[in-house]
């Protein structure tokens, strides 16, 4: 009897057991435990066929009845799979509450073949509603149950767990879950797009942590398979990553090339968010090249998309306004610079976006220092430093320490010495961590 037949028998055993109102414990005895019965019912591959046959006999099911019972059970499972798929679609199309209402009516046991899928959708729906602890509980169940199948639900659940951590500004844990998902992914399993999502997420987390070389390594690793990606959003994110990482490593011609290629793809597919991100990359390139008017033009193109982005996506305007403020400083438009930087800080606090808020505070500190408002500058730097430390943004922490040291140099030598020692410690940590 092969694995498929064991799986089929498990479905019948679960159906008959439930019809008779029996718990796993009621069916267990000295020969078979509740955990093994659950594995049989779920069709876990390593379970031997003799265990399935033992339960068939114990329930008094004749082998001649199996084909008819199996046919009926398969019809039920097929209908349930369609229902679960509809619930996942509800979640992904922006109605997670409705998805949860429908899920709550099912009350699937952990031994059910689709229990992992059920918990995955439940976790994803709670995540969309920012119910982080509920999302984590459901997704951990999906990981535990999905690890016994080849559906890639385990890998998908790790991808969602990484997002739960990311949205709570825990980048290190987000990266850990992304790596766990990559390790759990099965090449010949279903949900083949999941591996691209996991690698996209990993590259983003590395970029946010300032580990640019590692992030670029992930992008290069997947680049040749870009055409195979089913999700245009994922494909466009890799274009953005390659352009942005090229910009940040000083390879400006490549940054422009991949940003423009990505813009063409985004334009064809009406992907306004990706268009926004790629305009921002181009603006950043021309900022680095000190072509201020060209940079301002690209920032204007990005800001023109404000009405086409969701409220959630508008947090991206934090960096846009911060960088626009720095651009206005270069052009000596100080009043416009202050307004832009103030807006960046307001949006950063509103959206609880630690990496971008710390950058906006650093930028406002720079503005105040240029205006010779040193005490004001110190206040902004210290606020940004506290956020950077809390969220382990080591490169941001180093940059802010440097600016603070410049404020105290030749003014307070004791504080200056303390800051430079802290800079030395952070630099060692960055070097040792490979960040």
Residue that the structure tokens 């984590």 belong to = 136
pLDDT of residue 185: 96
For residue 29, give the DSSP letter. Answer: B
Half-sphere exposure at residue 61, Cβ-oriented, CA atoms within 13 angstroms: 23
Return the closest-CA partner of residue 205 out of 253, 157, 237: 237
Instruction: Measure the CA–CA gap between 285 and 107, rounded to whole angstroms.
Output: 53
pLDDT digits (tens, 9 = 90+) for 371-415: 999 999 999 999 999 999 999 899 999 999 999 999 998 888 899
The reported pLDDT for the residue numbered 48 is 74
Report pLDDT for 431.
80
CA dist., res. 340 & res. 325, Å (int): 5
Residue 3 has a pLDDT of 41
Angstrom distance (rounded) from CA 388 to CA 362: 10
Q: Are 204 and 241 in contact (CB under 8 A)?
A: yes
Please report the pLDDT score of residue 434 as a whole number.
Answer: 53
140-177 pLDDT per residue, tens: 999 999 987 889 999 999 999 999 999 998 999 999 99
Report the pLDDT value the prediction gives residue 4, as an integer from 0 to 100.
41
* Ordered structural domains, the chain, with CATH: 3-61 (1.10.260.40), 231-306 (1.25.40), 310-435 (1.25.40.10)
Q: 182 in the Ramachandran plot: left (φ > 0), alpha (ψ -120 to 50) or beta?
A: alpha
3-state secondary structure of 150: coil
C-alpha distances out from residue 211 to 222, 377, 434, Å:
18, 28, 7
Q: What contacts 169, CB < 8 A, 6 or more positions away?
A: 352, 353, 354, 355, 391
The three-state DSSP-derived secondary structure of 380-431 is HHHHHHHHHHHCCCHHHHHHHHHHHHHHHCCCCHHHHHHHHHHHHHHHHHHH
Residues of the chain falling short of pLDDT 70: 1-6, 433-435
Look-up of token digits 């890998």: 155
Q: Spell out the alpha helix ranges (H) of 305-353.
A: 317-330, 334-351
Residue 349: alpha-carbon gap to chain centroid: 21
């Amino acid at each position: 009897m092969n694995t498929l037949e064991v799986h089929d028998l498990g479905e019948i055993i679960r159906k008959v057991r439930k019809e008779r109102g029996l718990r796993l414990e009621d069916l267990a005895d000295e020969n078979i435990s509740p955990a093994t019965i659950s594995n049989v019912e779920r069709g876990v591959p390593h379970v031997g066929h003799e265990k399935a046959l033992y339960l068939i006999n114990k329930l008094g099911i004749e082998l001649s009845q199996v084909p008819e019972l199996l046919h009926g059970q398969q019809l039920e499972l097929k209908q349930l799979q369609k229902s679960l798929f509809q619930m996942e679609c509800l979640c992904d199309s922006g109605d997670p509450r409705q998805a949860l209402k429908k899920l709550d009516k099912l009350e699937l046991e952990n031994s059910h073949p689709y229990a992992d899928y059920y918990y995955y959708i439940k976790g994803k729906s709670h995540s969309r509603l920012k119910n982080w602890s509920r999302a984590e509980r459901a997704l951990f169940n999906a990981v535990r149950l999905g690890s016994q199948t080849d559906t890639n639900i385990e890998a998908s659940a790790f991808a969602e767990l990484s997002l739960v951590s990311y949205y709570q500004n825990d980048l290190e844990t987000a990266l850990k879950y992304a790596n766990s998902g990559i390790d759990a992914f099965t090449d010949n399993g279903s949900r083949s797009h999941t591996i691209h999502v996991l690698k996209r997420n990993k590259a983003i987390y590395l970029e946010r942590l300032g580990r640019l070389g590692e992030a670029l390594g992930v992008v290069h690793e997947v680049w040749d398979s870009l055409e195979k990606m089913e999700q245009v959003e994922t494909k466009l994110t890799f274009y953005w990553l390659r352009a942005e990482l090229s910009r940040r490593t000083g390879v400006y011609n490549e940054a422009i090339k991949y940003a423009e290629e990505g813009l063409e793809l985004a334009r064809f597919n009406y992907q306004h968010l990706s268009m926004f991100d790629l305009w921002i990359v181009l603006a950043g390139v021309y900022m680095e090249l000190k072509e201020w008017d060209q940079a301002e033009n690209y920032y204007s193109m990005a800001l023109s998309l404000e009405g086409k982005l969701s409220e959630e996506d508008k947090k991206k305007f934090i960096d846009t306004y911060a960088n626009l403020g720095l651009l206005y400083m270069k052009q000596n438009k100080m009043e416009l610079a202050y307004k832009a930087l103030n807006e960046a800080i307001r949006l950063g606090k509103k959206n609880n976006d630690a990496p971008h808020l710390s950058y906006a505070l650093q930028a406002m500190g720079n503005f105040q220092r240029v205006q010779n408002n040193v005490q004001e500058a110190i206040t902004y730097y210290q606020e940004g430093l506290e956020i950077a430390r809390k969220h382990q943004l080591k490169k941001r922490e180093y940059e802010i320490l440097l600016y603070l040291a410049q404020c105290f140099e030749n003014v307070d030598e004791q504080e200056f010495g303390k800051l430079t020692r802290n800079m030395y410690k952070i630099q060692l940590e960055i070097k040792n961590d490979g960040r």
